């Protein structure tokens, strides 16, 4: 019973390149959340997606960042033209229905380093 799977675990990009982070939710889960964790800080919400729909992107930077959760395949967080300030750990979490009595399960994260 695999949990939330994220890949890659580590991603190194040079400034100006694109970063693609993947998240496969737990089996049976159709609600995905992306969080970013900067050093010495807590996690900050970025975006909430259901299959083929963005439900809440209020935490996403307005430029360069996008997210999708297609009908088939993993959720993708895409960062275009990365800058050093994008270096962080990016975590994905999932729930089955987003309901009030559910647990939020996190993946192990992708550590993005921008050179």
Partner 1 sequence: QQQVKQSPQSLIVQKGGISIINCAYENTAFDYFPWYQQFPGKGPALLIAIRPDVSEKKEGRFTISFNKSAKQFSLHIMDSQPGDSATYFCAAGRGSTLGRLYFGRGTQLTVWP
Residue among 79 and 93 whose Cβ is closer to partner 1:
93
Task: Report 17-36 residues binding partner 1 (CB under 8 A).
Answer: 31, 33, 35
Assign 3-class secondary structure to 52-88: CEEEECCCCCCCCEEEECCCCCCEEEEECCCCHHHCE
Q: Out of 1, 14, 28, 40, name the contact with partner 1 by CB under 8 A.
A: 40
Q: Does 42 bind partner 1 (CB under 8 A)?
A: yes
Near partner 1 by CB under 8 A: residue from 43, 67, 77, 88? 43
Closest CA to 65 of 86, 49, 44, 40: 86
**50/34 Cα distance (integer angstroms):** 12
Interacting residues toward partner 1 by CB under 8 A: 4, 6, 31, 33, 35, 40-45, 48, 56, 91, 93, 95, 98-109
């Amino acid at each position: 019973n695999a949990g939330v799977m994220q890949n890659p675990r580590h991603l190194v990009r040079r400034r100006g390149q694109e970063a693609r982070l993947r998240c496969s939710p737990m089996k049976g889960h159709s609600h995905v959340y992306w969080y970013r964790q900067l050093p010495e800080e807590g996690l900050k919400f970025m975006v909430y997606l259901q299959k083929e729909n963005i439900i809440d992107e209020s935490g996403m930077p307005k430029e360069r960042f996008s997210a999708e959760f297609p009908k088939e395949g993993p959720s993708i967080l895409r960062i275009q033209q990365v800058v050093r300030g994008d270096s962080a750990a990016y975590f994905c979490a999932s729930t089955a229905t987003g309901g009030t009595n559910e647990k939020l399960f996190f993946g192990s994260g992708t550590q993005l380093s921008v050179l």
